[in-house]
Amino acid sequence: MALLQIAEPGAVSEPLREHQIGVGIDLGTTNSLIAHFDGEQLSVMADESGETALPSVVHYGVSETLVGRLALEAAQRGASGPIASAKRMLGRSRQEFKDDPYVTLAPGEGLAFETSMGPKTPVEVSAAILAALKERAEPILDGPIAGAVITVPAYFDDAQRQATRQAAELAGIKVLRLLNEPTAAAVAYGLDEQSEESSLLAVYDLGGGTFDISILKMREGLFEVLATGGNSALGGDDFDRALADHVLREAGFANPSSTQRRVALRLARSMKEELTTSESVTKSLSQLGDGLTEVTVTRELLETLIAPFVEQTLQACRQTLRDAGTDTVDRVVLVGGSTRTPAVQKAVADCFQLTPLCSLDPDEVVAMGAAKQADVLVGNRGEDQALLLDVIPLSLGLETYGGLVERVIERNSTIPVARAQEFTTARDGQTGLLIHVVQGERERVEDCRSLAQFELAGIPPMVAGAARIEVTFRVDADGILEVAAMEQETGARAEVVVKPAFGLDERQITDMLKAGYENAGEDMLARKLGEARLEAEALIAGIHGALAADGDLLSDSELADLQGKIESLQAAIDSHDPDQIRESTEHLGHASEVFAARRMDRSIQVALQGVALTDLEAEEDAP
């Protein structure tokens, strides 16, 4: 069974002429893999030693670049600068890592690693890993690679997705699509276990540096992501660091060097992997220098150290179930090497009250699903097709007058998606409009994340509220956002592909959703207050303009009464009671009705000056 390509509206399908080679790539934090599906045989491609997993480690020497196991061997020989876990730094800022003791940054403002070849960005490091995978696959395949589906965590934001694309382009790989890792896992599992009955699937994906939880609905070949959650900066690396810190404390190193930290991290990773099948493990500490000669770690101790991180994943699972509108699922799939940890497997089983599925290698399942999707996207379709429907993780919208957020695309909307909404100007004679794109679940701009700003110029000068400006949000199948604004009368247009400067950190990504729920009542009150104030201020501004033009139509007592109600409304605006503001607005509106009627009469009289009654009658009789 093949998968259905998600095409943009208006796309034209061309007949298949020859078999194309597409590959699926799992660009992982700890390990990366490349797979190929030829319509019948699915294979995860191995290196010369038979290893399918390429360690996501790069060593930049003075004259050579080593990737994978060669880089690890260089690190064991004491070579400085081997770079690991670059994926968790893609699309993020230098500020987020300036105090990270496990990262050696190059001098300067940007985020880059210090190496013997000079500064190297996370994009360049990821490109080296992707290029090594490409070099592995090309001799095995019978022709050139037409393109690749590269998987990313579902919670990767636009900056992180753009950085992943840039890395692929730098490696000479055409990106067919960025596919969310949980969805790729569902492809690998769901196609083998199709059922006519509708079922819910939870994909728990805990890798080296990222965590995703997705709830998918599967029915008759349709895979729909109902809700997704997670943390783009939480994974097995945190397990390793917690254990490494413990080892360093046990060895008596209060202020370890960067070399000692790297050695401790390698020891911790090795001990964690051995504790998957053993109850305890003992390691020599001779490489750390003077101090303890060895350390023993039990599985129970490891479970204690990693418990806070596991609990964070379970909190995300519970929240995502609520977002999906369900309490239970029919199946749970484990993805990612960190799910081999017994404590993780038990915690997931207890959370969902189900024994998780793990019949496919959790390290390979994502690459396998991506390979199947790639076979479709290069044009190799079968008669039976399955549709993948991903969702966006956080709402997208823009700032409106008064600092309020107008959500244009709600979170958990299926992608690709396009939404258009009409806006207008807030002031008379306004000829430009600043579009501020934001992301989040709160009602006020200050509580959301700013993504981008751009200006629409060329708006004809009109009275406030007369201009018609259509703003369109488009999110493509890769989760990339494009925002366009067009003034309807002149056709003036401006647009931006959102490329924020850095990604959400591990606290922001979970706190934004949590804050949206916890502050819902407060936010709605703030929105009501903001909207009431805007309406009141617009009415006052309109009446002031009318008085400047036709104030002579009112008697002194009428003018005084109107001014008094304006002052009352102004006082209400300064309060924090939206109901009081709306009530005062209504009073002022009623008080100004007589004035508005007199102004209308005057404008009619002015328009009819010099026009004979017979001329009007002739216009009425005209065909």
Q: Which residues are catalytic?
A: 26, 87, 181, 205
172 Cβ neighbours under 8 A, 6+ residues apart = 131, 134
Which structure tokens are listed for 231? 């943390």
DSSP secondary structure letter of residue 306 = H
Helices 578-591 and 593-608 pack at an angle, to 10 degrees, of 40
* Residue ranges in 97-171 assigned as alpha helix (H): 122-137, 158-170
Q: What angle do CA 240, 128, 162 make, to 5 degrees?
A: 85
Residue 89's identity, in one-letter code, is: M
550 Cβ neighbours under 8 A, 6+ residues apart = 595, 598, 599, 602
Report yes or no: 492 and 457 within 8 Å, Cβ to Cβ: yes
Q: In Å, how far are 48, 133, 269, 302 from 280, measured between CA atoms?
A: 33, 35, 14, 10
For residue 188, with 0-12 CB atoms within 10 Å meaning exposed, 13-18 middle and 19 or more buried, which class applies? buried
Which structure tokens are listed for 167? 């890395």
Which structure tokens are listed for 535? 């309406």
Helices 299-324 and 342-352 pack at an angle, to 10 degrees, of 30
Report yes or no: 422 and 433 within 8 Å, Cβ to Cβ: no
Which structure tokens are listed for 472? 């369109």
Q: Are strands 222-231 and 385-391 parallel, antiparallel or unpaired?
A: parallel
The span from the CA of 453 to the CA of 379, in Å, is 37
If we measure between CA atoms, which residue out of 462, 404, 227, 236 comes closest to residue 322?
A: 227
For residue 457, the surrounding DSSP H or E stretch is strand 449-457
Which structure tokens are listed for 623? 């065909």
The owner of tokens 């819902």 is: 520
Phi, psi of 433 (to 5 degrees): -140, 125
Report yes or no: 183 and 223 within 8 Å, Cβ to Cβ: yes
In sequence order, the β-bridge partners of residue 175 are: 148
If we measure between CA atoms, which residue out of 567, 580, 489 comes closest to residue 533?
A: 580
The span from the CA of 574 to the CA of 576, in Å, is 7
Which structure tokens are listed for 106? 């190059």
If we measure between CA atoms, which residue out of 425, 218, 198, 228 comes closest to residue 317?
A: 228
In sequence order, the β-bridge partners of residue 335 are: 205
Report yes or no: 3 and 385 within 8 Å, Cβ to Cβ: yes
Report yes or no: 496 and 473 within 8 Å, Cβ to Cβ: no
Report yes or no: 260 and 289 within 8 Å, Cβ to Cβ: yes
Q: In Å, how far are 67, 127, 222, 237 from 87, measured between CA atoms?
A: 14, 11, 30, 11
